[in-house]
Every structure is written in structure tokens, then in C-alpha cells.
Chains A and B, each alone.
Chain A
Amino acid sequence: DQQVKQNSPSLSVQEGRISILNCDYTNSMFDYFLWYKKYPAEGPTFLISISSIKDKNEDGRFTVFLNKSAKHLSLHIVPSQPGDSAVYFCAASATGNQFYFGTGTSLTVIP
């Protein structure tokens, strides 16, 4: 059973606008979350993290929001750029070593 879900397989956004990628989880013990970006034929690259003691973390154009009561997190990219076109994965962990990944959302930023 998938403990981390990304229900939108794909998303298209105009360049310069905001991209919002969503992620839901079922395990209330998850306390650390990561977002990764992946280009074809490459390994995932780290974007941003958040622990359960926070509800927001920002790094440049990327902001992650965590709603623990809803078991939901989202990644905001502002402004979106064509180079952001990739597959985005969220991941969650309760133990620190075992991360559960979502199935990914393919983002296309249209110039």
C-alpha cells in the first residue's frame, strides 16, 4: 500500500507562473520530508526538506509547506522556469533511514 501519494501524474505551467506540486501521506509517524527533481537518465537531485516541527521551509524559488493535520505537503516553485521541467518526487521518513517515495509528478514549464 502506497504510504506517500502524488495524485497528479503531470502538471503544465506557463513560464513565470507558480507551480504547485502536491503530496499526501498516510503514516502519522512520518516526521521528515524531502523533495527531489529528476531529469531523464539521471539520478534524483535534492531540492528541499522539511521536518515536522516546521510548517514551511524556503530556499530561493522553492518553498515547501507541511500541513500535519491533513497529512499533506506541497512544493511551490515561483517563478517557474523552463529548466524546471522534470519529474518531482516527494519522500517521507519516520525512522530517518527508510524514506518512502511518491510516484512522481511530471512538470512541464511552457516558455
Chain B
Amino acid sequence: NAGVTQTPKFQVLKTGQSMTLQCAQDMNHNSMYWYRQDPGMGLRLIYYSASEGTTDKGEVPNGYNVSRLNKREFSLRLESAAPSQTSVYFCASSEQAPGELFFGEGSRLTVL
């Protein structure tokens, strides 16, 4: 049982480049989330999707877009990467809200 799978695990970008982080869950969960973790800041919610076809902004949505492609997949896109977006990104899912969040292993992004 894979749980929550994120790709890629590591990525280096130049300022202004774009990229998409992919996330898939195999637990048939309704809700999916994207968080970023920065030193001294804990995890902060970027966007979430309470159900297939819906997305909502979290704490720090600026500079990001998301797509809930289907119930399994939730992608995070950086259209024009900035050094401030250097971070570790975590995807998570939950069966219901509120409820336990299941996290992926993380994607480390560096923007030069």
C-alpha cells in the first residue's frame, strides 16, 4: 500500500522557470492538501481540495496553482519560480475533515 506518493523528490530550478509537483493517493480519500515546510516556520498550508472538483486557498497560496485532476491526484504548479519558493513541499490526504492527515515523503525544491 503506497499511501501518498509525490514526484519528484528533488528539483532544482532557475528563477522564472515553471514546474509541477505531482501527488497521488491510493486510499480513496476525499480531501487532499499541499503544505510547505521552511526552517523555523512549521508546515504551512498552500492549497487544499475538499473533494474532487473543488480547490481552496490556504495560508500561503501566492505564486502557486493547483489542479485536482481526479479523486486520486492533486498537483501543485509554480508558474514562475522565485527563490522564496525554495522549500520542502508535502502533499497530504485525509478521508474526512477534520481527520488524520496522511503525508507523502516530501519534495525538496531549490530555486536559484
A100–B43 Cα distance when bound, in Å, is 8
* Residue numbers in A under 8 Å from B44 (CB-CB): 101
15 contacts between A and B (CB under 8 A): A32-B98, A34-B100, A41-B105, A43-B104, A43-B106, A44-B103, A46-B102, A51-B98, A89-B42, A95-B97, A98-B48, A100-B59, A101-B43, A101-B44, A103-B40
Query: Which A79-111 residues sit within 8 Å CB-CB of chain B?
Result: 89, 91, 93, 95-104
Judge if B50 is at the interface, Cβ distance under 8 Å: yes
Judge if B34 is at the interface, Cβ distance under 8 Å: no
Judge if B56 is at the interface, Cβ distance under 8 Å: yes
A101–B46 Cα distance when bound, in Å, is 13
A33 to chain B: closest CB distance in Å?
9
Interface magnitude class on chain B: 20 to 34
A96-B97 CB under 8 A given contacts A42-B106, A43-B4, A43-B103: yes
A71 to chain B: closest CB distance in Å?
17
Interface size in chain A (residues, C-beta < 8 A): 28
Q: Does A98 contact B43, Cβ atoms closer than 8 Å?
A: no
Judge if B109 is at the interface, Cβ distance under 8 Å: no
A29–B66 Cα distance when bound, in Å, is 28
* Beta-carbon nearest neighbor of A92 in chain B: B98
Q: Does A89 contact B4, Cβ atoms closer than 8 Å?
A: no
A103–B35 Cα distance when bound, in Å, is 13
Judge if A45 is at the interface, Cβ distance under 8 Å: yes
A34-B101 CB under 8 A given contacts A43-B90, A104-B42: yes
A60 to chain B: closest CB distance in Å?
16
B104 to chain A: closest CB distance in Å?
5
